[in-house]
Structure 1
Amino acid sequence: MPTLVRPPLRRVIALNARTGVLLLLVFGVVRIALVLQANMTGSYQAVSIVFLAMIALPWVLLTREGRRDIGLVRPSRWRWVIPAAAAGAASAVLVHLIAAMLWGSTISSPFVYISLSYANVPAVLEDGDRLVFFIIFAIIGMLFSPVGEEILYRGLAHEALANRWGNRGAALIDAGAFAVTHLAHFGLVFVAGAWAFLPLPAVFWFAAMFLASLTFYGFRKLTGSLVGAIVAHAGFNLAMNWVIFYLVLV
């Protein structure tokens, strides 16, 4: 489909399975390396740059028709946008509830460990400060990763993979890649100056991220747009931050 790729790039790239796999590998490896580094340093600025690069990809690689093809259009079914946010939020709360039942408030619970990566948050939070920090982290969490990751995983990579394996196969592949990448955020943990791998919590987190990814894709299909996936992902991150600031950091 040469009309989908910008003219200067058509000789070296196409919206096909090879491109989809390459994008997932390159962004996945870079993302994992930067997140693991950030887990040690507490600085996540470089990770934000990766999200910005994901957001820029369609405008760098694709024509207007190509951007439409990957879902960068207005929703054709707006009635599914609010349910998308609700489903994403419910998914995050469910992840926390199950993890809390299994591992309590230990670092084996994903959101407990992730809360440790929140730099500049005081150990003791007053109610006013709690709200301020929640708003700051919620806004960041609802902008960078939902937009960047959904453009890459449910948009560009998905359409490239679907040209060979169909929508179902592509959804499973990009969900798997999404889940593997998120093991850098939890599963392989950095605590007290040392790395450790948590096998059962990692399996749980991988499954949770895999299912969340399929949920995001489902709302892309229901809305007819990447907006559905982005809103569902933003809902997940909003609820995750609510859990962290009002149930974990207490």
Structure 2
Amino acid sequence: MHKELKPLWDKIFCFNWKFGLFLLLIICVPRFVLVLHANTSANYQYIGIIMVLSALAPFLFLSKFGRYQIGLKKPTNTLWLLMAFMAGLLFSILLWWLGQTLFGNSYHNWYVYIGQSYNIPAGINASDKAILFAVMAVTGMLFSPIGEELFFRGIVHASFAPSTGEEKASVIDSTAFALTHVAHFGLVYTNQQWQFLLLPTLIWVVSMFLVSRLFYVCKKNSGSILGAMVCHAAFNLGMIYCIFYGADF
């Protein structure tokens, strides 16, 4: 009988919702704290470590069969990879439009607040700005889409699915993803103090939940977790483009 967990871990854990909850606690809680710290210190190196650990989790805990079960396989519908890219890009642009419409260029706007961490110099020339954009875009399209999708839509989703079903498991992993992102925007650090922005945070959390569900749809319809990664990468590309060039729209 094939088992999802490697023999070592199979002696300690059952591959079920308790294991999924364990993963959420050991990854998401430290990540939440580290992101909040990074917002005050502008030191984001530890966030990169968390992303790496998230990406490594399926390879650390799961057998070859388990990795296949979470979607680490060739897509069965490659057309959905293109659709995933377009959907992620469109969602990010719509979220930029919503933020601009409701909150303009204030720090109540999620993209404006997140963009502060990019440290775009005032008065930067077009060439240097394009280079900085390219660096941030490539980084944003690789690290978090791979790490977060292997973790949330991958090992966490698959551990909840046997007891809850696929759709409820998606609701759970999407909720965890959305709440984790409150550290990125919601609890904001401005003028040397913390603020909780109730309405912007609610909109941001709902948006992160919905885009997570979109990632799941792309995974499901492409037949591979690559579909979720492509959609996530496109979302990040659109977000970073709007942060750099949204004022030109």
Q: TM-score, normalised to structure 1's length?
A: 0.97
Pairwise mapping of residues 41-190 of structure 1 onto structure 2 (< 5 A)?
Answer: 41-119=41-119, 121-190=120-189
Identity percentage over the alignment? 39
Question: Cα deviations across residues 68-126 of structure 1 (Å, max 9, x unaligned)?
Answer: 0011111011110011011001111101101111111111110000011114x312221
Distance in 2 between residues matched to 1:6 and 1:86, nearest whole Å: 36
3-state secondary structure, aligned to 2:195: strand
Cα displacement (A) at 1:14: 2.5
**Take 1:82 and 1:115, find their aligned partners in 2: how far apart are those partners?**
27
Q: Secondary structure at the match of 2:117?
A: coil
Distance 1:249 1:178, change over 3 A: farther
Shift of 1:192: 1.3
In the TM superposition, what is the alpha-carbon distance from 1:249 to its structure 2 partner? 9.2
SS of the equivalent of 1:238 reads helix
Question: Per the alignment, in what secondary structure is the counterpart of residue 194 of structure 2?
Answer: strand
Q: CA RMSD in A?
A: 1.3
Q: Which residue of 1 aligns with 2:8?
A: 8
Match of 1:243 in 2: 242
Structure-1 residue corresponding to 2:231? 232
Where does structure 1 differ by over 4 angstroms across 4 or more consecutive aligned residues? none
Unaligned runs of 5+ in 1: none
Question: Which residue pairs with 1:197 in the alignment?
Answer: 196
Partner of 2:40: 40
**1:76 alignment partner, SS class:** coil
Once residues 13 and 74 of structure 2 are traced to their aligned partners in structure 1, the CA distance between those partners, rounded to angstroms, is: 27
- One-letter amino acid matched to 2:220: K
- Equivalent position of 2:29 in the other structure: 29
Secondary structure of the corresponding residue to residue 205 of structure 1: helix
Cα deviations by residue, 1:221-240 (Å, 9 ceiling, x for unpaired): 01000000000000000000
The count of aligned residue pairs is: 249
CA spacing shift, 1:249–1:190, aligned 2, 3 Å: farther
- Rounded to whole Å, the distance in 2 between the matches of 1:78 and 1:204 is 32
Could you report, residue by residue, the CA deviation over 1:201-222 in whole angstroms, capped at 9, with x for unpaired residues? 0000001100000000000001
Unmatched segments (≥5 aa) in structure 2: none
**3-state DSSP class of the match of 2:106?**
coil
CA contact (8 A) 2:2 2:65 kept: no
Change (3 A) 1:102 1:235: same
The equivalent of 1:20 in structure 2 is 20
Residue 58 of structure 1 and its aligned partner are, at CA, apart by 1.1
CA deviation after TM superposition for structure 1 residue 25, in Å: 2.2
For 2:58, the aligned partner's letter is P
The verdict on how the C-alpha distance between 1:9 and 1:143 changes in structure 2, with shifts beyond 3 A counting, is same
Helix, strand or coil at the partner of 1:184: coil
1:235–1:15 CA distance, 2 compared to 1 (3 A):
same
Output the CA distance in 2 between the equivalents of 1:2 and 1:79.
Answer: 31
Three-state SS of the structure 2 residue aligned to 1:3 is: coil
In the TM superposition, residue 2 of structure 1 has moved relative to its aligned partner by: 6.2
* Kept after mapping to 1: 8 A contact 2:145/2:230: yes
Question: Are the equivalent residues in 1 in contact too, given 2:215–2:229 (CA < 8 A)?
Answer: yes
For the 8 Å contact 1:42–1:118, the answer to whether it is kept is no
Q: TM-score, normalised by structure 2?
A: 0.97
Aligned partner of 1:207 in structure 2 is 206
